[in-house]
Amino acid sequence: DTGVSQNPRHKITKRGQNVTFRCDPISEHNRLYWYRQTLGQGPEFLTYFQNEAQLEKSRLLSDRFSAERPKGSFSTLEIQRTEQGDSAMYLCASSLVGQGALSYGYTFGSGTRLTVV
């Protein structure tokens, strides 16, 4: 397994356009998370899935944001009508529910850097 994979690595888009990012988690991990990180800040929680069910969404996630995880495998995060404030690194992470401290650690992907111009 090559870890968590995110595509694309970079995305430049014009304000008002829609963008979609993809995340492929570690195959045996049943939880998948989306976070957003801006320069000099820690990652901020957006949403998470257990298998295919989206169990929690942050209040940060406006109606313009939607995430899916069909069949409990890969996930997509779509941002509609992008705004300059959406410019950030979008990080995906996965984890495995289980016993022991190691099971509480996330494995992050390298992220998709979004620039809205």
Partner 1 sequence: GQSLEQPSEVTAVEGAIVQINCTYQTSGFYGLSWYQQHDGGAPTFLSYNALDGLEETGRFSSFLSRSDSYGYLLLQELQMKDSASYFCAVRHTGGGNKLTFGTGTQLKVEL
Of 48, 90, 112, 114, the one binding partner 1 (CB under 8 A) is: 48
Of 11, 21, 34, 43, the one binding partner 1 (CB under 8 A) is: 43
106 binding partner 1? (CB under 8 A)? yes
How far is residue 74's CA from residue 83's CA, in Å, rounded to a whole number?
26
**Beta strands at 88-95 and 65-68: parallel, antiparallel or unpaired:** unpaired
Q: Write each residue from 7 to 26 as x if it is in contact with partner 1 (CB under 8 A), else as -, in one continuous string.
A: --------------------
Neighbours of 52 (CB within 10 A): 14
How far is residue 61's CA from residue 63's CA, in Å, rounded to a whole number?
7
**Residues 69 and 75 sit within 8 Å (Cβ to Cβ):** yes
Q: Which of 110, 107, 113, 111 is nearest to 1 (CA)?
A: 107
31 binding partner 1? (CB under 8 A)? yes
40 binding partner 1? (CB under 8 A)? yes
Q: Segment contacting partner 1 (CB under 8 A): 12-20, 69-77, 80-88, 104-112?
A: 104-112
Q: Which of 66, 90, 70 is nearest to 79 (CA)?
A: 66
Which of 13/50 has CB closer to partner 1?
A: 50
Judged by the rule CB under 8 A, the positions of this chain that interact with partner 1 are 4, 31, 33, 40-45, 48, 50, 55-56, 91, 93, 95, 97, 101-102, 104-111
